[in-house]
Amino acid sequence: MLHKDLYELTLVKRVKVSRNNLGQPVGSKARLLARYLGIIARNANMLPINYESWHQMPDSNKNQALDNIKERFALEVSDTYIKRALGKKWRDHKKRYKPQREIVKCPAGDAKDRKQVGTSSRQKQKFTHTTGSKSFAYVTEAEELSPGQKVGRLELFDITNRKKDGSPMTSEAGEIKLEDKKAEYETIASSDSSVNLEDINNRIITEVLGPKMYGRVQIQGSGVNPIQYFGSSSQQYMPSGSQAQAEV
């Protein structure tokens, strides 16, 4: 289905978007939804970028955008998820936007300098995933279509940090021997009751990627918080203090 086809849909013919057990959109139409969210986020009449933050955007604007999306999609995902996803795309758009007058005033070498800075920054990244426009939820669902295949965070990290030929994306990714690390933790768990076998994958992810971002779950995609993923009783991977509330 093309984007232009979305404007001709009726309520009966809306595009159905399914969700996984974590509330993330999955299935063949999830990417179409993501692209349409990007279109709405860039709509200056609906979601103008003159506000300092998404939090300051009036609820009336957010609800107008949500209604527009619901006219074209039959969503299983929550309104909160959609608004958060819109907020992320709106912030990304706001960062990229440069008024024409600022571009004219920039010295001739600035564009080249910015490109070099961007290239240098990417080269310093230890890990670069290969999912492209596909979400982690989309990749996970596709992998789990294979009989008996269960994709956890550790498996997803390995899948998304390899090229099509199976080689690692970066030298740092190639140096990580996930199976060796898993065997090491399993050995520790056999003699240390404080190490839960079910948490081994999470421990390895934390060791490899470092401390998680506050209120988020690494290698799980957007819309998933620690309480939702680990459970309210799990403190080992929870941020200290009250749970961060994402802007909606």
> In this predicted model, what pLDDT tens digit does every residue of 117-172 receive, in sequence order?
555 555 555 656 666 667 777 777 777 777 667 777 777 787 777 777 777 666 66
Q: Are residues 86 and 155 in the same domain?
A: no
- Compute the mean pLDDT over every residue in the chain, rounded to the nearest whole number: 75
Which domain, by its residues, includes 198? 136-230
Phi, psi of 74 (to 5 degrees): -95, 105
Q: Are residues 16 and 88 in the same domain?
A: yes
Instruction: Tell whether 130 is covered by a domain.
Output: no
What total number of domains does the chain contain?
2
Q: Are residues 211 and 143 in the same domain?
A: yes
Quote the pLDDT of residue 53. Answer: 94
Q: Grade residue 99 by pLDDT with cuts at 50, 70 and 90.
A: low
Position of tokens 């996984």?
20
What distance lies between CA 184 and its chain's CA centroid? 30
Strands 25-26 and 15-19: antiparallel
Instruction: Tell whether 87 is covered by a domain.
Output: yes
- What mean pLDDT comes out for the span 217-233? 70
Separation of first and last alpha carbons in the chain: 29
Instruction: Tell whether 114 is covered by a domain.
Output: no
Is the pTM of the predicted complex or chain greater than 0.85?
no
CA nearest neighbour of 244 among 227, 221, 232: 227
Using CA atoms, how far residue 204 sits from 180, 183, 199, in Å, is 11, 11, 9
The region of weakest confidence among 41-45, 97-101, 139-143 is 97-101
Instruction: Tell whether 127 is covered by a domain.
Output: no
Q: Are residues 67 and 141 in the same domain?
A: no
- What mean pLDDT comes out for the span 26-49? 92
Quote the pLDDT of residue 192. Answer: 75
Quote the pLDDT of residue 242. Answer: 38
CA nearest neighbour of 86 among 101, 68, 108: 68
Instruction: Tell whether 108 is covered by a domain.
Output: no
Instruction: Tell whether 197 is covered by a domain.
Output: yes
